[in-house]
Amino acid sequence: MMERAPRMGIIGARRARQGLGPFVARDLAAAGCNVVGFCTSSPSTVEEAHRQLLSFDVDAQGFGSAVELLAAGLELDGVAILSPAQSHAEHLGLALESNLHVLCEKPLLVQSDSPEALLSSFEERNLLLLENCQWPAALESLAQQNPRFAGAPKTSFAMGLAPEGRGMVLLQESLSHPISLLQECLGSELSFGRPRWDWSPGQEAVTVQFDATAQQRTISVSIELACSDARPRPAWIEFDGLRAHREVNPEDYSMGFRLGDELFPIPDPLTTHLAHFSGLLRATLGGSEPPPPSPIIQRAALFDALIQNALITLP
């Protein structure tokens, strides 16, 4: 194992819209990484991002582009890519050229001619690649409270989320979460049946239903997405008709799941997931093989298939 702290850069460090830059920087630092640099999409926003990071006790050198960050000689070991999804392919390519390990915000890719070739290149170079899908960590905490959430659903899985935006934005912001949970429950050898879409007239809400099959087991899936002004945003998971609502305390952002009348506190899944990434990064830098990206490649393919089908059915 390596002795020094892994040196990380943040691509997309500003808290714009629902950006996670300052929170990811904070949690990476708490997990033992040294966040030494960051970039925004423009030199004009570097100072604002720097102030936001300082409010989370992270003091790093700022740059106006990813190219400048990666060329600055900061001896980075990895980067967290938190830029808008449309720029992920570009930033993944830049990280690959620089032989950097990567944590990338979901969705990993929304526009790429050859996603499998790009993502497989990380494995060929022995580079760690992890997508920032934190809901499996939340599910693990929930399973400790109720055994019906341990293992896989027997007949049905459902999830409700309240992303910002309408139309295809609803899907781009959300679909990686239920797909990652289905992979966690059913395994990575996963396939989806033909989806059935139900859009609201204004495209501010959509429900998609399909069958998910893995290892000769098939369950029904329903995903409900609805734009909401509520803060914190509501979310829930349902196994075989048993629904757990995530609740977030707006004062300190502590989290819990409500099952009936009981509220069970859980660790912040983002913090847990980033600690997992930090552990994998330390192990990889110490000479261990990083986990293969095959589940991430499959998730990207399932995500893209749903998106392409939704485009056909969009009112």
Examine the fold and report which residue of 56, 83, 105 is the final residue of a domain before the chain moves on: 105
Q: What percent of the chain has pLDDT over 90?
A: 75
- Furthest-apart CA pair in the chain: how many Å? 57
pLDDT(1) > 50: no
pTM: 0.92
The radius of gyration of the chain from alpha carbons, rounded to an integer in Å, stands at 19
Amino acid 115 reads P
Q: Which CATH number is 74's domain given?
A: 3.40.50.720
pLDDT mean over 86-113: 90
Q: Are residues 261 and 149 in the same domain?
A: yes
Q: Which two tokens stand for residue 75?
A: 């001896």
Query: Rounded to an integer, what distance in angstroms lies between the CA atom of residue 178 and that of residue 229?
Result: 21
Q: What is the pLDDT of residue 199?
A: 95
- Assess contact for 128 and 280: CB atoms under 8 A: yes
Q: Are residues 154 and 199 in the same domain?
A: yes
- Assess contact for 9 and 68: CB atoms under 8 A: no
Q: Are residues 73 and 189 in the same domain?
A: no
Residue 167 resides in a domain: yes
Q: Are residues 163 and 308 in the same domain?
A: yes
Query: Rounded to an integer, what distance in angstroms lies between the CA atom of residue 138 and that of residue 141?
Result: 5
Q: Are residues 159 and 96 in the same domain?
A: no
Q: What is the pLDDT of residue 19?
A: 66
pLDDT band at 171 (very low <50, low <70, confident <90, very high): very high
DSSP state at residue 146: -
pLDDT(220) > 70: yes
Residue 98 resides in a domain: yes
Q: Are residues 176 and 307 in the same domain?
A: yes
Q: Are residues 140 and 263 in the same domain?
A: yes
Q: What is the pLDDT of residue 53?
A: 94
Q: What is the pLDDT of residues 81-92, one digit of tens each?
A: 999 989 999 999
SS3 content of the chain, % helix, strand, coil (to 5): 40, 25, 35
Residue 190 resides in a domain: yes
Q: What is the pLDDT of residue 121?
A: 93
Examine the fold and report which residue of 66, 85, 105 is the final residue of a domain before the chain moves on: 105
Q: Are residues 221 and 308 in the same domain?
A: yes
Amino acid 184 reads E
Q: What is the pLDDT of residue 225?
A: 97
Domain limits at 25?
7-105
Q: Are residues 144 and 67 in the same domain?
A: no
Residue 165 resides in a domain: yes
Q: Are residues 17 and 154 in the same domain?
A: no
Residue 122 resides in a domain: no
DSSP state at residue 134: -
Q: Cα dihedral sign for 177, 49, 227, 89?
A: negative
Q: What is the pLDDT of residues 38-93, one digit of tens each?
A: 999 899 999 999 999 999 999 999 999 999 999 999 999 999 999 998 999 999 99
Domain count of the chain?
2
Quote the crossing angle between the two packed helices 294-313 and 176-186, to the nearest 10°: 130
Residue 130 resides in a domain: no
If you average pLDDT over every residue of the chain, what do you get? 92
Q: Which residues contact 233 (CB under 8 A, 6 or more apart)?
A: 161, 162, 163
Q: Are residues 55 and 139 in the same domain?
A: no
Q: What is the pLDDT of residue 21?
A: 86
Residue 129 resides in a domain: no
Q: Are residues 153 and 74 in the same domain?
A: no
Q: Where is pLDDT greater, at 125 or 16?
A: 125
Distance between first and last Cα of the chain: 54
Residue 282 resides in a domain: no
Query: Rounded to an integer, what distance in angstroms lies between the CA atom of residue 78 and that of residue 223?
Result: 33
Q: What is the pLDDT of residue 18?
A: 61
Q: Which CATH number is 263's domain given?
A: 3.30.360
